[in-house]
Structures are given as structure tokens and as C-alpha cells.
Structure 1
Amino acid sequence: MFALSKILRRTQRLRLGARTALYSKDINLVERSIFTLESNSIVYDKCESLPRLYEISSMSNRALSSSAGTKSDEEDDDLEDGFSELESSKSGQDTTSDDSEDDEVAHAGKLSADEDDLVETEDSRKAVEKKPSELFNTIVSAAGLSVGSALDKWVEEGHEISRVEVSKAMLLLRRRRMYGRALQMSEWLEANKKIEMNERDYASRLDLIVKLRGIEKGEAYMEKIPKSFKGEVTYRTLLANFVAACNVKKSEQAFNRMKDLGFPLSGFTCDQMLLLYKRIDRKKIADVLLLMEKENIKPSLLTYSILIDVKGATNDINGMEQILETMKEEGVEPDFHTLAISARHYSGAGLKEKAEKVLKEMEGESLEPNRHAFKDLLSIYASLGKEDEVERIWKICESKPRFEESLAAIHAFGKLDRVKDAEEIFEKMMKMDKRASSNTYSVLLRVYVDHKMLSKGKDLVKRMAESGCRIDASTWDALIKLYVEAGEVEKADSLLNKASKQSHTKLMMNSFMYIMDEYSKRGDIHNTEKIFQKMREAGYTSRLRQFQALMQAYLNAKAPAYGMRDRMKADNIFPNKSLAAQLAQGDPFKKTAISDILD
């Protein structure tokens, strides 16, 4: 762990003096330092109390001003959050792909109340791959019926509902992101007393409610959970969802609440805070690592993956490689996900040979046994422009493709400008699974977005609606971007309003930013402010990105931005160099040569 924090400090070039002491009066340590940072060492005072998250945050603001990466300080500041937004990768650098969003969701989501973590037994996990779930098929094929009605009929036909069968069906529904049907099944099972609810069942319900109805509904449900079932799994599920929503205040409150309840500080909670600060404020990553070191919490595979992604996304390839080396020295072998992250960043940095070397490592001696790597291989080979490799891998899958492989292939062929191939794969998926989820449509829709095929995009959404498939946040996001790319920002704005009124959908942050950026470019202050407010109403806390777009609108309109600094201060937003320059340029009270003469 010491080696890891040392690498982080060295590669981030923390701006520390010869000695910086950090103090807290809130944990029975009046005028004593919690820990002391020096140029090449860390010395901790002995302290039985664990620093709370707001204390960690204040330490960061006072003493840890970092600039990750090997670029100049100015360039680092201009990177906004200093890493590729995995959940909003399309607005980032070219080093980032849409695939990285899915990767983080898949990799980190399983650590909360998602997928495998909430499957009751190891046997039920293995059974998912061995044979299909009849319960899952019943739920998915319930055309025109509610899930409850379909399950009533299924039970009347004499089928038995077991815990293993329920776990299998829940896992498959989650993997296909059919969260609405999963929630209906959960509610039906409890209402009909088909299973005895345990903590994981409550945590699963909580997770689904937040995904579908938002944080406030989730918090309301949390209050209804019996006290005896509000354990660590339930609270970590809440924490993971706060992190997913990038809600710093609620995430830190949940972290502190878990401490107050006596739950031990775990690698899971620290990894969640690393994910949060990677998205919001990477300067605080060092604080979490120091806390882990102090509490002797060893970095997990996810910990390393997060740091590798942070380094790679800021084009600090040397730092990324050092973390990979440290990881191996500590006996933690990178999994396919971690290798895929490094391969993507090698590709984005133009290091194609290194990227291909990692991909070959992922393939192993024989490709077919490593089938779980196919999704990433298809995506990254496509980003490298390797058509032959994409075709080679898809040929192995094609006779009996898995769901995620098919989605990855659609995306890959889209990247290679082979739209017809992507469409053919989509149509095969439709024939195999007539009740395909909205995610299936969304992937092809994004291909149309990338190629500015507005007409085809409209037809696909119409077809999706006619199939009875609910339009989810991902689909709305792709459709809104499609209209923005086509220059129809007013239509995109109209769609945003329509989607916002659907109670079951929380729109992605990107969906707002596409439109806000376009209004900002036009110098349309009124509509830029309107979108800014809509984001607040949707539950997104203010970040640098929004204020940058807002300030640019005032600058483009050549209008004074009165009170902007106060607004940022109220939201606890501190400008980087790029935003500071915008604020100075738009300052209505700034001094000029003429004003100095007049004074």
C-alpha cells in the first residue's frame, strides 16, 4: 500500500511544502495532527478514531492540491475532473469510448446490490450459465401483461417458485437491465409471500427503486425496511447508488452513517469513495488512499482498476504502468476488465503495439475458453481500426452469440463504419429474442447517432415503441444527441422535457449537457440557465462542467455574469484555471485600461 500511495504522490506531483500538518478538532484530538505529510514519507499520529468523510474532504481542500498526469499544470486543470468520464465518455477525450461506460457499470455495479452480489447462493450463479431460467422466460415473454399477472398464471399452471429460481431470474433480468420487470417480480414475490424476505432481498429492492425512481424514492423505501434488516449490505447498496448519482453530500453522509453504526471500514466503501472522487474531484483520491493505508486496508482489484483508469485517462501512461507493476508485485493479478482499461488507454494514447500486446494477453493461448473477454476484444480492436481482428472474433461468436457479445459487435462494426453489418446483427438479435430490452435498441441507435442518420434513428425509436419496449434513459440520451448532432436543438429540448416528465426515468447527465452546450455556443443565456436549473431538479449536483458551459453562454452573448462567483461558492465549487479565466473574462467589474484612466 505504501508503494501505491508513493507512486500516486510522485506521479500526481502534489504541491506540498517541506512539511504540511493537517489538523482536526472534531475527533477528540484538539490541536493534534491526524497525520503529517512530508515530501517523501507519511507519519501518522496514533489515533483510535477514524476520520469522518467531511474531515477527509476538508483535508483535501486545505492541503492536497494535486495535478494528476504528466501534462503541464494548465493542461491538467483544463481536463475538468482529470479523467475520462466513464459515465459521460462521449464528451471526453478521444481516448475514451462509450464502452468504458458499460465497463465501469458492469465492474463496479456488481459490488453494490447489483447482479451477483445479491444472488443468494453460489449454486444459483453457476446455474445461470448451465440452463435457462423458466421463471425468467415467463417474465420476459409476458407481452401485454403485467409481470404479476404472468406470475399468477405461471403458479396456477403448477410451477414451483424456489429461492434458486428467483435468484437466477433476478440475475438475468439485471444483466439485461430489465430493472422494471425485476422490481415487479420482487414486489409480487413479497406480496404473495413466495419467499421469506432477507436483507439481500430488501437491498435488491432498494437498488431497483433508486435505479427506476430516483434517490428520494429509494430513501423513502429505506425508512420502511425493518430495522433488523438494515445491515451493512443495505447501507452499502445505498452508498453505491449515491455514488452512481455523483451525489457527494449524500455519499459522505452514508459513509459516516456506516461508521456510526459500527460497520467496519471496508475495501468496498473505500472503493466507492474512490469512484465518486474520480468522477467529481480527483484531488481527494489521495486522501482515500491515505485513509486506507492508515487503517491497513489492502487495495482491491477495483482499487487498482480505478487508479489505472485515472492515470490512463490523463495520458499519464508511465504512471498507469507503475500502478500495474505495483499491483502485480502485491500479488493482485489484473482481470480482463483491468487489462481492457489499460488496452483502451494505450489505444487512445496512440500506442497501438502496446494495446495489441495486452489484447493478445487477454486472448490467452486459446481464444475460445476466454469467451468472457470477447466483448472487450471486439470493442478495443474496433477502436484500433482492426477490421480483420473484429471479424475473426465475431466469427467465433456468430453461430451462437451471447447477448453482450452481440451488443459489442453492433457497436464495433458501427465504429468501423460498417453500419449494414451492425444492422444485420441487430436483426438476428430481434429474431432470437423478440422481447429484446431497450438496451438492444439503444446500441444500434448510438451507431445511427455517430453517423448522423437522423431518419433511421427516428424509425428505430418508432419501432421500439411499437414493440412495447419502454424507452429508458440510455435511449433518450442517444435520441437527444441525435437531434443535437443534426442541428435540431429545439427538438432535442422538447424531447428532454417529455422524458423528464416520465416518473420511471432519470435522464443521464449527458442528455442535459448536449443541449446546454449547444445553447451555450449560441450565447443563448435564457435556455442555458433553463437547462442548468433542470439538471438541479433532476437531482444532479452542480459541477465544474455545468458552470463552464454557463459562463461560456454569458461570454458568447457578451453579457456580464453578475454573481457567478457567489453561485459557485454556494454550491461549493472551486474554479480550475480554465473556469477562472472565464470568470475573469466575464467579470462585469473588471478593470480595463480606460477604467484605470477614468479612475
Structure 2
Amino acid sequence: MASTLLRILKKTHNFTITTAPILTRTCHSRTVTAKPRRRFNNNLFSRISPLGNDTSLVPVLDKWVQEGNQLEELELQRIVRDLRSHKRYSQALQVSEWMSNSDLQFSVDDRAVQLHLIGRVRGLESAESFFNSLADEEKNDKIYGALLNCYVRKGLVDKSVSHMQKMKEMGFATRALDYNDLMCLYKSSGQFEKVPEVLSDMKKNGISPDSFSYRICMKAYAARSDLSSMESILQEMESQPNITMDWISYSIVANIYIKAGLKEKALIYLKKCEEKISKDPVGYDHLISHYASLGNKDEMMRLWGLQKTHCKKHINRDYISMMGCLVKIGELEETEKLLMEWESSCDRYDFRVPNVLLIGYCQKGLIEKAEAMLRDMVKRGKTPVPNSWSIIAAGYLDKDNMEKAFECMKETLAVQAENKLWKPKPSLISGILCWVRGKRYVDEVEAFVRSLKTDSRN
């Protein structure tokens, strides 16, 4: 019986008992890409925006033209840019290729974007093939830079360095973006000592570093616990006339000091960060998170009040962030109050918000309270996402209450139909599998197996 379940798990979830991670206290719901809401004047994007990520956009573009509507290069470029910003790379590539095959003007810069998208969607070999197919006169600094970015994303240090050297020889290494790519590669590969070398080389070649250049270098110094050099880079950054200091840079510095245990220095830069936030809700979310790391509830609540005053409205992301910070410092009662506030004003019930409190309860061992809260929501007509029930199931598993874990897992699979991309965590299934092994609940196990089969077909 258990072996039947194991075979299905291996087939449908690439699951193995030996590699299953230990159960974590939190379970992650599927990531849903936010749909862009931008609307252009002639409304073409309003047709594209609501479509699923797997939908082909070519018929949409063809139909738009067949209806006699006009298309301009600038409009399609903005659509490609918006799709890229929302990580809808495949659709962005479709629009780019449709544009290149049309009678519209397709610039070398458009071609560089297309190369970047090919690397994202079809892989490095396709990107290199596309690059090699271009005539020499079509290869400018942005084309070379796009291929460099493909190498960097693949973590290919030698190829990236060699390609960058060729760009220098051809006079194409003229943008901070390309040096930043190389610095990111060294940082991600753990070669922190080489990041400042790239910054020095950049300045030597007459390229002015931008904010990102300095930030990545400060992070590299911090990773080596060289806070003195990090401070020198910050001072240099502040002295540059072409750079406007913003909250992001000071937030990074404050976080570095927090992690280093230097509270007083962290507070200095948290104040500087606050001075630069203005009406940016994301800035407030970051600042509140830093004070949560310091365990400073008073400052968290003060900033939450300022965020309400200065920003137009609180969205779900802000509540999720603030509630998560309150859970982090163990303030579950304040989290409960915030959930009630959100419920009284929300337009759409987003279970990611109450999930924060469910996780908080489970972390404190209050599994029964978490389950009671979730069942109360069901009574009020709310339909939980699978992840909500799996949080409770994981909590019971953590307390060795397998009967309840199995029961909540069945609840999870019962609401899975509307969340077809969601998959059970292997660690959770592993725990249940270990429990049913040797049990004789034939009907229950077979029903559970059928649910997993349905899950795999979806």
C-alpha cells in the first residue's frame, strides 16, 4: 500500500525518500505572476494583459491588425518592456519576433532585447546561434552586452570574462551595466575579492559607476567582513555628483550593520533611509523589516502609521510584510489586530495575508488555534488555498499528530482543483507516507492516492 503511494509520488512529484528535505515550518504557495495593469491609448495591451502566461500572443497581434488598427514601433517596444518586467519572457519574445517579421522598423536595440529574450526562453545555445547569425554591422555594444548577460546568468565565469575582454578590444565596454553584470557574477560565484577590481577597472576605463555598481561592491566587502572598505565605498558614492542617494542604498548599509551586530551604526543609516523614503510604500516595508530584525516594536508601529499617512493606500503586500514582521518578533496579538483591520477593508480575500498568522501560530506550537481560525474562515464562506491547509498539516506533522496531519492534507487536496499549479511539499508527503506505512487504512490511503493522481493530471 505504502509502496503504491511511493510509486505515484516518484512519478508525479520527482520524490524520493532519501532526498526529501526535513519538514520546514512554513509551506510555500505557488507564485502567481502579477498581471500588469498599464493600459495604452489604443488598448492593445488591455487585450494582452489578462491572458495567461501560456497563451500565444501572435493570434492577438494578427487579429489586431486584421481589424484595421494601427501599430507603432514605440507601442510594441513598451509592450515588450512591460512583459519583461513581469517576467513574461516567452510572450515578450513572441511580440519581439512578430515585430521583427513585420513591416515595422526593427532597430539594433530591439535586436539586443530579442537576443536577451532568446537566452531567457530558449537557452544559451540558441542565444549564441542568434548572435552568430547577425551581420557584423548589426552587432553594437548592446548586442554584445546582451550576450554577456546570457553568460552571466548561466554563471559562466571564463566565458563572461573572455567576452568582456573582446568587448573592451572592440570599444564596446562603454556601459556601467556590463561591468555590473561581471561584478554580480563574481559575487554570486563567491569571488568577492574580484568585485572591487572590476569597479576599479570600470573607473580606469572612464566609465562612471552607477548606484548599483557601488551597492554590489559594498555587499561584496560586507561578505568579506571588511566593513571599513564598505564605508569608504559608501563615502565615495555619496560624493559623486551624478548619483542621487536613495533609501535603497542606505537600507542596504543598515542591513549590513544589523547582520554584523552593530546596532548603533545600523540606527544611523535607518534614520538616513527614512529621510529618503518620501511616499514609497516599499521603502516603508523594508524599514519596518529592519526594525523587526532589531526587535524594535515601537519603531515598527510608528513607521506603519507614517506609511498609512503618506502612502495612498495599503495593499496586501504591505499587510503581509507588516504582519510577517510582527510574527518575527512574537507579537501575535498585534498580528491578529492587523488581520482584522485588513479583513474589514479588503476588496478581495487573499489568503496569503491570513497565512502569515497561521504560520505564526504553528511556529509557536499553537496548531489547534491555527486550525480553528482556518475552519472559522471556511464557515464564513471563504475557500482556502491549498497552502493554507498544508501549513496546518505541516504543523501537526511537526507535533507528531499524524491523524490530524493526514486529515488536513486531505482538506488540502480537496481545494486543489482551483490551484492546479500547486504541488504538495515532498517533506509533508514523506511524513504522511512514513505514517501510513504499516497502517491498514485501505480506503483512506486509496482515496489519498487517487487525489494525488488527480493532482498529477492537473
Give aligned pairs, total: 342
**Residue 495 (structure 1) aligns with:** none
**Residue 308 (structure 2) aligns with:** 395
**Is 1:285 equivalent to 2:195 in the alignment?**
yes
1:136-155 mapped onto 2 (5 Å cutoff): 136-142=45-51, 145-155=55-65
Contact 2:176 2:207 in 1 (8 A): yes
Greater CA drift, 167-176 or 388-397 = 388-397
**Residue 257 (structure 1) aligns with:** 166
**Residues 256 and 318 of structure 1: CA distance in aligned 2, closer, same or farther (over 3 Å):** closer
Q: Cα deviation per residue 1:25-45 (whole Å; 9 max; x = unaligned)?
A: xxxxxxxxxxxxxxxxxxxxx
Pick from 381, 384, 390 the counterpart of residue 456 of structure 1.
390
Contact 1:210 1:241 in 2 (8 A): yes
**Residues 300 and 448 of structure 1: CA distance in aligned 2, closer, same or farther (over 3 Å):** same
Query: Aligned equivalents of 1:250 and 1:462: distance in 2?
Result: 49
Pick from 151, 173, 190 the counterpart of residue 83 of structure 2.
173
Query: Aligned equivalents of 2:89 and 2:311: distance in 1?
Result: 28
Q: Which amino acid aligns with 1:251?
A: S
Q: Which amino acid aligns with 1:364?
A: E
**Residue 363 (structure 1) aligns with:** 274
Q: Cα deviation per residue 1:138-161 (whole Å; 9 max; x = unaligned)?
A: 112135852222333334444432
Q: Which amino acid aligns with 2:121?
A: L
**Is 1:270 equivalent to 2:179 in the alignment?**
yes
Q: What is the CA-CA distance between 1:296 and the residue it aligns to?
A: 4.5
Pick from 108, 114, 117 the counterpart of residue 205 of structure 1.
114
- Normalised to the residue count of structure 1, the TM-score between the two structures is 0.47
Q: Which amino acid aligns with 1:341?
A: I
**Residue 232 (structure 1) aligns with:** 141
Contact 2:288 2:325 in 1 (8 A): no
Q: Which amino acid aligns with 2:47?
A: T
* Secondary structure, counterpart of 2:271 in structure 1: helix
Q: Which amino acid aligns with 1:272?
A: D
Q: Cα deviation per residue 1:252-294 (whole Å; 9 max; x = unaligned)?
A: 2221232343424553333322221122212323543453454
Q: Which amino acid aligns with 1:322?
A: S
Query: Aligned equivalents of 1:129 and 1:352: distance in 2?
Result: 42
1:40-55 mapped onto 2 (5 Å cutoff): none
**Which one scores higher on RCO, CA 8 angstroms, separation ≥ 6?**
2
Q: Cα deviation per residue 1:191-226 (whole Å; 9 max; x = unaligned)?
A: 3x1632112211112222222332223222323344
**Residue 402 (structure 2) aligns with:** none
Superposed CA RMSD in Å reads 4.6
* Secondary structure, counterpart of 1:177 in structure 2: coil
Query: Aligned equivalents of 2:71 and 2:119: distance in 1?
Result: 26
Q: Cα deviation per residue 1:386-416 (whole Å; 9 max; x = unaligned)?
A: 4415633553588646xxx754653453343
Query: Aligned equivalents of 1:146 and 1:424: distance in 2?
Result: 41
Query: Aligned equivalents of 1:416 and 1:299: distance in 2?
Result: 38
Moved over 6 A (4+): 128-133, 418-426, 447-454, 457-465, 485-491
**Residue 348 (structure 1) aligns with:** 259
Contact 1:239 1:251 in 2 (8 A): yes
Which of the two has higher C-alpha Rg?
2
Query: Aligned equivalents of 1:377 and 1:391: distance in 2?
Result: 10
Contact 1:202 1:234 in 2 (8 A): yes
Query: Aligned equivalents of 1:150 and 1:201: distance in 2?
Result: 21
Pick from 320, 326, 330 the counterpart of residue 416 of structure 1.
326
* Secondary structure, counterpart of 2:209 in structure 1: coil
Q: Which amino acid aligns with 1:288?
A: V
Query: Aligned equivalents of 1:351 and 1:485: distance in 2?
Result: 39
* Secondary structure, counterpart of 1:350 in structure 2: coil
**Residue 22 (structure 2) aligns with:** none
**Residues 290 and 327 of structure 1: CA distance in aligned 2, closer, same or farther (over 3 Å):** closer
Greater CA drift, 342-351 or 198-207 = 342-351
Q: Which amino acid aligns with 2:324?
A: G
Q: Which amino acid aligns with 2:301?
A: D
Contact 1:414 1:422 in 2 (8 A): no
Q: Which amino acid aligns with 1:410?
A: I
- Normalised to the residue count of structure 2, the TM-score between the two structures is 0.59
Query: Aligned equivalents of 2:131 and 2:414: distance in 1?
Result: 37
**Residue 228 (structure 2) aligns with:** 318
Stretches of structure 2 lacking an aligned partner (at least 5 in a row): 1-36, 364-386, 392-408, 435-458
Q: Which amino acid aligns with 2:187?
A: K
Contact 1:344 1:380 in 2 (8 A): yes
Query: Aligned equivalents of 1:285 and 1:236: distance in 2?
Result: 18
Contact 2:80 2:92 in 1 (8 A): yes
Query: Aligned equivalents of 1:242 and 1:165: distance in 2?
Result: 30
Q: What is the CA-CA distance between 1:297 and the residue it aligns to?
A: 4.1
Query: Aligned equivalents of 1:268 and 1:148: distance in 2?
Result: 31
Stretches of structure 1 lacking an aligned partner (at least 5 in a row): 1-127, 435-439, 492-599
Q: What is the CA-CA distance between 1:233 and the residue it aligns to?
A: 0.4
Query: Aligned equivalents of 2:162 and 2:432: distance in 1?
Result: 38
**Residues 448 and 227 of structure 1: CA distance in aligned 2, closer, same or farther (over 3 Å):** farther
Q: What is the CA-CA distance between 1:239 and the residue it aligns to?
A: 1.0
**Residues 321 and 236 of structure 1: CA distance in aligned 2, closer, same or farther (over 3 Å):** same
**Is 1:162 equivalent to 2:72 in the alignment?**
yes
Q: What is the CA-CA distance between 1:333 and the residue it aligns to?
A: 4.1
**Residue 536 (structure 1) aligns with:** none
**Residue 20 (structure 1) aligns with:** none
Contact 2:285 2:321 in 1 (8 A): no
Pick from 329, 333, 338 the counterpart of residue 249 of structure 2.
338
